[in-house]
Structure 1
Amino acid sequence: MIMKNVKMVVSDMDGTLLNSNHNVSSRFFELFKQLQQQQIQFVAASGRPYYSIVEKLDSIKNHIIIVAENGGLVIKNDKVLLSNIINPNRLSELYHLVTNIANTFPIFCTKDRAFILRASDEKIKTFSEYYSIYTIIDSFEEITDDVIKIALYHASNSESYIFPHVKHLKPELNVVVSGNHWVDISDAITNKGHALSFLQNNLNIKSSETMVFGDYNNDLEMLKCADYSYAMANAHQDVKAVANYETETNDDFGVEKVLEHLISESGNN
């Protein structure tokens, strides 16, 4: 496989670049310096909010592009390049729907904070790994900002226990199983693929010059935007079916091993 034409690398975070302890490896940060030297743009693309991605990649935040909230936000150097919100006129209806799904915990995600419906301290601790800046609410009226995404959490399995209750919202809204515990609801055009296409057009980078890593169904659209599309070994079967290649798990440095190959080839360009 010839990788020397790659100009942009895009990676999902949870289950992909982050290990099972939600950490980015020192090995990646060393490789990032080499990507910079070879003028390869790095993009972090996640269902996480912008501020959470920044926390994980703080030392390089000024040198990367961040696609947050499954493509609802695209930010570079604190400048918002793209923002898609859920129609405010639909929020009350959606609030009523998602707060009545059994054993499901909704989080209303805005650019700068999350609004979390009151839950146990244990659940709030779980959510704060992803949504570290948050306000606990008891009613719809307490949501004071434009909502980019509604994240729904189920302790055992989101695909079985949440998705059947919200799938009817498609195609007017984008509804995606984004993890074993999560289902996300966004504006209809919001997905990581739409955000990546936006960047490719703006940076004049082709799919043949793009490398993407992902592990779950919210990565499907962006994997289709890259010739060098990689599913993690720990990925959902839908992701493996779409990706052109497979790498090792997120705990076995799957992303880093491919980047080492890329850097080696690019250096010989």
Structure 2
Amino acid sequence: MTPAPLPPRLVNALPRTVDLRLVVSDMDGTLLDGDGRLPTGLHEVLARMKEHGVLFAPASGRQLGNLQELLGEIVAQGPVIAENGTIVADGPRVIYTNTMPAPAVRQAVLATRRLFEQGYDVGIVVSGVERAYVERRDERFMEQVRRFYASRQEVDDLLTIDLDNVVKAATFDFQDVERGSSQALMSAVTGVQVMAAGIHWTDMISYTASKGLALRALQEAHGITPAQTAVFGDYLNDLGLYDYADLSFAMENAHPGIQAVANYTAPANTDDGVLRTISELLRRTPPGVGPRPQGPGTGPAARRPRPHAAT
């Protein structure tokens, strides 16, 4: 199945030729459709990417195990950025992790408990590298947890787990987080980044972690530059990606903060925006033999592209 062509305005705005070596895409609201399913035609597009020597890396707030379960062979031998950049795997190997300070994990757990006592319908998930832990266990909450965490363990008290090896704490709110719970967590949890990661999730990760820094680690591992990188995102936890890619796309359904920093706007996730855009980029990419190594001092450097009006 060949994806539909892009709008002429975007087609005309893209470079005539690109040296594409790496495509990084967020999952929910970006690659996945409105029902959270992989888009039809994904495997065909990935096969074409492989022919051109282009790597594909999902970059998600989801757990590594969840991404491996959802994507299967797609990530079995390739790179993946999980837990909002706190874990990077390259095939079967985890090549990078970034943990939270233990005091911040404790603050996150206690703050979420206080919000629940105050009437907020919230629960927290605390993630280690291998599994996630929860103390709220009602079926309504666990239904949300199972969507994003394949490897999980229920405990009586989250403060009894190993707090020194936590990569992310994420609070789920059945209401919109911008109605108050996210701001409350920002005030209560110190020493880490606290960010809205969707309508219902607030993520807390190390100050030195982001999807962008995880992308940089992948670029350095494979000798790829920002000029050879395309990124796709829709929400604020994707912001870091845009520091390390010249071919930067906000989804049409993206948060205004993402649209402000992206060079281009791709069609919405409900309109196969990622696959349609990749297909057009591949048409402009000469066939290759895989990512090309670089010499000393020529590795990728951070730079934020200027906003572009193309859609």
Q: Report TM bin, short chain.
A: over 0.9
Does residue 120 in structure 1 map to residue 138 in structure 2?
Answer: yes
Q: Select the structure with the greater relative contact order (CA < 8 A; seq sep ≥ 6).
A: 2
Give the alignment's Cα RMSD to 1 decimal: 1.8
SS at structure 2 position matched to 1:97 = helix
Q: 1:23 touches 1:56 (CA, 8 Å); kept in 2?
A: no
- Pairing partner for 2:149 from 131, 137, 151: 131
Cα distance change, pair 119–187 in 1 and its aligned pair in 2 (3 A): same
Q: CA deviation at 1:39?
A: 0.5
Q: How does 1:4-153 map to 2 (within 5 A)?
A: 4-101=18-115, 102-144=120-162, 146-153=165-172
In terms of fraction of residues, the more strand-rich structure is: 1
- Pairing partner for 2:273 from 246, 254, 259: 254
Q: CA deviation at 1:211?
A: 0.2
Letter matched to residue 14 of structure 1: D
Q: 1:169 touches 1:175 (CA, 8 Å); kept in 2?
A: no
Instruction: Determine the C-alpha separation between the residues in 1 that align with 2:170 and 2:56.
Output: 26
Does residue 163 in structure 1 map to residue 182 in structure 2?
Answer: yes
**Length-normalised TM-score, structure 1:** 0.94
State the Cα deviation string for residues 85-108 of structure 1 (Å, max 9, x = none).
Answer: 112244333321222123221110
Q: 2:25 touches 2:31 (CA, 8 Å); kept in 1?
A: yes
Q: 1:70 touches 1:191 (CA, 8 Å); kept in 2?
A: yes
Match of 1:239 in 2: 258
Instruction: Determine the C-alpha separation between the residues in 2 that align with 1:162 and 1:221.
Output: 23
Instruction: Determine the C-alpha separation between the residues in 2 that align with 1:135 and 1:142.
Output: 13
Runs ≥4 in structure 1, deviation > 6 angstroms? none
Moved more, 39-48 or 164-173: 164-173
**Length-normalised TM-score, structure 2:** 0.82
Instruction: Determine the C-alpha separation between the residues in 1 that align with 2:207 and 2:189.
Output: 8
Q: CA deviation at 1:203?
A: 2.0
Letter matched to residue 235 of structure 1: A
Q: 1:72 touches 1:82 (CA, 8 Å); kept in 2?
A: yes
State the Cα deviation string for residues 52-89 of structure 1 (Å, max 9, x = none).
Answer: 11112102223320100000000012211110111224
Moved more, 233-242 or 157-166: 157-166
Percent identical among aligned pairs is: 28
Moved more, 72-81 or 164-173: 164-173
SS at structure 2 position matched to 1:185 = strand
Gaps of 5+ in 2: 1-13, 289-311
State the Cα deviation string for residues 106-155 of structure 1 (Å, max 9, x = none).
Answer: 11011121111223212211220111221122213442472110011111
Q: CA deviation at 1:253?
A: 0.2
Gaps of 5+ in 1: none
